[in-house]
Amino acid sequence: MLIDALLKLWNQSGFTHLTWQGCVMLVVSCVLIYLAIAKKFEPLLLLPIAFGILLANLPLTGLMNGPLSSSEPGGLLYYLYQGVKLGIYPSLIFLGIGAMTDFGPLIARPSSLLIGAGAQFGIAIAFILAIALKFLPGEAASIGIIGGADGPTAIYLATRLAPGLLAPISVAAYSYMALIPMIQPPLMRMLTTKKEREIVMEQARKVSKLEKICFPVIVATLCILLLPSVAPLIGMLMFGNLLKESGVAERLSDTVQNAMINIVTIFLGVTVGATAQGEKFLQPETVKIILLGLIAFIFSTIGGLLIAKVMSVLTGGRINPLIGSAGVSAVPMAARVAQIEGQKSNPRNYLLMHAMGPNVAGVIGSAVAAGILLSLFG
């Protein structure tokens, strides 16, 4: 009797339903948890994503199952995932980013927009290669946007154009964002001379409060009139920035920057990770997406650096080309990498604020690129 009960309990446990794909994904989850904790690779997002992968690949939990009937509700993560599926979480993340961003360096040097635009070059390269590899146009667009180094934008576009590829696209996007300190420096040294890296840039002009208040209103209006499909991302980004710069909504700005963005990050990370179920994730397409994402990111960095080199020549050597690498929208990590590389060549180099201009321009650029792709293939 006892043996029968134990056998029944064992047969109903998850151990008997583990697949090799599930086991592989559990190992992947543990590796990502290690990288997030021990190596501090984007831990605020990588840790929730890794644990979401863990939960999704433990059998019989039903966490991502939809409702079977009106009397049988779906799993917890299924309902939380609706915020990803409906584009709510990425837009709210942009709201928080806007409230934490100082657009002053971009306003002081509007030419930074050119660098931010050049740093979207990898999106086009990856799109063309993905089409060559027989991905559908919508899928190719979603893969290409990884080159923008903007996780929320990649998720937003993938949920609309390629929901079946959401897991590998989001994992690739956030992985390469975390690996910026490893990927970018060799490219920066390869494409710039020591003399260029030693350039000390002049202090940018002081930006007035009025300019900072007008900027989000003007950018939101122009971008949304040009590309209505970009309204959720650009609209929330600029609204968050207006809350910050207005000076009359400190409580709202503080809530958006801290409590709200932290809560949304948890839900976004866990539910995106939960889409990485072994049977779907461990496919040849995943390897292609990871490689295409790396190519996109490399060419985006190259595009930003080359535009900055041209600007350096045209200004008579007043712009350090290293700030071009910050044109990808990983704020503020890419700007920090430019600062570190600049100081290695010249200890008097302080490029951080100069690099922040292209960096925040990259945020706008990746959102606009997503809007263009959504308009073309949505």
Query: What is the full DSSP assignment across 82-140?
Result: HHHHTTHHHHHHHHHHHHH---HHHHH-TTHHHHHHHTTHHHHHHHHHHHHTT--HHHH
Q: For residue 243, give the 3-state DSSP assignment.
A: helix
d(CA 378, CA 373): 7
* Amino acid at residue number 136: L
pLDDT in tens, 84-93: 989 999 999 9
Query: How far, in Å, CA of 46 to CA of 167, rounded?
Result: 13
Q: What is the 3-state secondary structure (H, E, C) of 47-95?
A: HHHHHHHHHHCCCCCCCCCCCCECCECCCHHHHHHHHHHCCHHHHHHHH
Domain spans of the chain?
19-57+82-377
Instruction: Output the CA torsion sign for 189, 357, 360, 371.
Output: negative
CA 32/CA 73 separation, integer angstroms: 31
pLDDT value at residue 6: 79
Q: Is the pTM of this model over 0.75?
A: yes
Give per-residue pLDDT as tens, 30-42: 998 998 899 887 7
Condensed to tens digits (0 to 9), the pLDDT of residues 25-77 reads: 999 999 989 988 998 877 888 899 899 999 999 998 989 999 987 778 999 99
Task: Render pLDDT for 203-250 as a digit per residue (tens, 0 to 9).
Answer: 888 999 999 999 999 999 999 999 999 999 999 999 999 999 999 999
Tokens of 183: 């990927």
Token pair for 82: 């609706």
For the record, the structure tokens of 47 come out as: 């840790």
Grade residue 177 by pLDDT with cuts at 50, 70 and 90: confident
In the three-class reduction of DSSP (H, G, I as helix; E, B as strand; rest coil), residue 346 is classed as coil
